[in-house]
Every structure is written in C-alpha cells, then in structure tokens.
Amino acid sequence: MSYIDLFPKVPEWSHRRLSSFLSDSNPASYQLLDVREPTEFEKYHLPGAQSFPLAKLQEGSTIIDSKKPTILYCRNGLRSHAAAQILIRRGFQKVCLLKGGVQNWPGWLTTFSDSRVNELFTMLNTAEDHALFAWQLEENTRRLYRAINETVENSQLKVLFAKLAGDESNHKATIKAIWEGLSRRAAPTAFPHAIETFREHDFLEGGMVLTDALNWIKSFSTVDLLDFIISLEINAYDHYLTLQRLATDENSGRLFELVSDEELRHVKLLVRSCEEFQSSLE
C-alpha cells in the first residue's frame, strides 16, 4: 500500500485517453494544470497547460474555475494526487489526473518557452492589431519553410517544405479574413503593410527569431530538422492557447481561438507528413 491509497480515489486518465481528449476538445471547456515547479514547466509541458505548482494551489488561487473539468499532471503522478486532494477539499467536483505523470508522455510536448511574443501581443490594443501581428508570424514561418525548401537536396523534403510553406500562406489568408471581419472593411491591396498600425517583425510562431532559426538548423540532420519543425508548430499551438486564455478582449479571444484551431489542424497534418516521409526512408 502507498500513501496514495490513504486518500479518496481520483479518476486517472491514461496517456492515450488524455492525448485523445486534448486533440478533440475545445481548450476553453477544461483546465489543464501542470503542478510541477516552474523550472520543470519551462523545460517542457503539454500544449495549453497552465503552470500551477503545488504551493500555488495550496495558497487558494482563484484564477482556476471550480466548475470546469480540471486535469492535473506532474512528473510521475505523486504531486498531482496531492493537488487533486487540495482541489477536492475546495469543492472541485470534476477533477482527474494523468496516470503515471508526464515522464513517459508519448504525444506532443512544448519543448521551449519564450515569452517575448506574448509580451508583444499584450502591448497591442485591439483584436485587429493582434490579427496583423499573427499574420506576420505566419509570414515569417512561411519564409523559413521556403528557405529550407531552397537549400535541401532531397526531392521529397523539397516537396514537404513547399507544402508547409503553402499551408502558412493559407493561414495568412485565414487571418486576413479574420481581420476583415473584425475591422468590418475590405483589406487593402497592400495588406497588411498599408495599414497604419502594422508592425513588421522577425519572430516565428513559438517565439524564435527567423534569422536565428535559419542559422541554427544549418547543421541539422534530416531527423533533427523534422523534429525541430514539429516542435516549432507545437509551440505555436501552445502559444495561441495561452493568448486565448489570457485575452481580456472578447474579439481577441475569439481570434486566438480560431488561430489555435488552425495550428492544431496544421500540427496534425505536419506530424502525418513527417511520419510518411520518415517511413519512405526505411
């Protein structure tokens, strides 16, 4: 018997069940709490997770909603059991945890954290400006994929990165349409550069800088390159989920929700494409 057996039972979800749930559910409908320490969270975490160390939960934070389903995880499941007891005592009725913790998680993880892009988003005043900034993020990522397409020699890789660049162009078109809906006017011919509040920048989705990424990947093997691209897109998805959660403006929140949905779709396609490419090499 372990000390866990001394406490009321808490529903435990398998890695497969949680992975399926996160992939299919609206992030606004639940709370995913990482109860490890902040330094652990920064190294890696599940996309869309909030950092809530055990000590912070014990302080009785009111940021989390007792009425929403709440999913807890830690490294091996021990801290999340303790966290669950805290929330149950506070009246949370829909609490579950990741069985065995995140240490053997087989799915997507956010593997680097950069707050600069989030900070820049918070400096903007309107949802329309948020859309312009997001458009530039997509454009810079398209430029990255186009540059990789032009430098790799493998014909299959060229096709893959041409497709990825095309996907980013589609994302830009989606954001442009969102901007038109928010501003209630047609986009100018020179969108978005003709718009007074447009601020050009060199950031990629997820917070990296385009020039840094181009220099960094020069020595990558094919496997490392694909792993990096998947990580970049997963971080972008996590980034927009975080912005959606932090948004104080309803229109901005809706924008980030729509873009995060696009990113999730893109991640799924990207993972499938990379798996197909790697299988072709075997």
For residue 23, give the CATH number of its domain: 3.40.250.10
pLDDT at 188 over 80: yes
pLDDT at 5 over 60: no
Provide the CATH number for the domain around residue 227.
Answer: 1.20.1260.10
Q: Mark residue 100 as left, alpha or beta (left: phi above 0; alpha: psi -120 to 50; beta: remaining).
A: left
Token pair listed for 97: 């945890």
Q: Compute the Cα dihedral for 201, 254, 45, 88 and give only its sign.
A: positive
Residue 26 is predicted with a pLDDT of 84
Q: How many domains does the chain have?
A: 2
Mean pLDDT for 138-150 is 94
* 147 shares a domain with 74: no
Determine, yes or no, domain membership for 108: no
* 270 shares a domain with 235: yes
Crossing angle of helices 127-151 and 250-281, in 10° steps, is: 10
Q: Which of 22, 57, 74, 84 is catalytic?
A: 74
Mean pLDDT for 109-122 is 75
Mean pLDDT for 106-129 is 80
Our answer to whether residue 96 is catalytic in this structure is: no
Q: Can you tell me which residue has the tokens 């006017």?
A: 185
* 225 shares a domain with 144: yes
* 196 shares a domain with 91: no
Residue 13 is predicted with a pLDDT of 95
Round to whole Å and give the CA distance between 54 and 231: 27
* 142 shares a domain with 13: no
Determine, yes or no, domain membership for 104: no
- Residue 174's alpha-carbon distances to 69, 170, 182, 261, 277, in angstroms, are 31, 6, 12, 11, 27
pLDDT band of 3, cuts 50, 70, 90: very low
Rounded to 5°, angle at Cα 213 from 215 and 43: 125
Of the three residues 67, 98, 129, the one that is the final residue of a domain is 98
Determine, yes or no, domain membership for 68: yes
Determine, yes or no, domain membership for 169: yes
* 174 shares a domain with 258: yes
* 65 shares a domain with 137: no
* 135 shares a domain with 220: yes
Domain span at residue 59? 3-98
* 17 shares a domain with 57: yes
pLDDT at 278 over 80: no
Average pLDDT, the chain: 87
Residue 227 is predicted with a pLDDT of 83
pLDDT at 162 over 90: yes
Determine, yes or no, domain membership for 107: no
Residue 61 is predicted with a pLDDT of 66
Of the three residues 36, 63, 98, the one that is the final residue of a domain is 98
Residue 4 is predicted with a pLDDT of 47
Of the three residues 64, 98, 132, the one that is the final residue of a domain is 98
Determine, yes or no, domain membership for 106: no
Lowest mean pLDDT among 66-70, 184-188, 216-220, 266-270: 266-270
Residue 1 is predicted with a pLDDT of 44
Determine, yes or no, domain membership for 103: no
pTM of the predicted model as reported, rounded to 2 decimal places: 0.83
* 157 shares a domain with 47: no
Beta strand pairing call for 12-13 and 95-98 = parallel
Determine, yes or no, domain membership for 110: no
pLDDT at 205 over 90: no
* 129 shares a domain with 202: yes
* 129 shares a domain with 45: no
**CB < 8 Å & 24+ apart, contacts of 12-17:** 12/77, 12/96, 12/97, 12/98, 12/99, 13/71, 13/96, 13/97, 13/98, 13/99, 14/99, 15/98, 15/99, 15/100, 15/104, 15/105, 15/106, 15/107
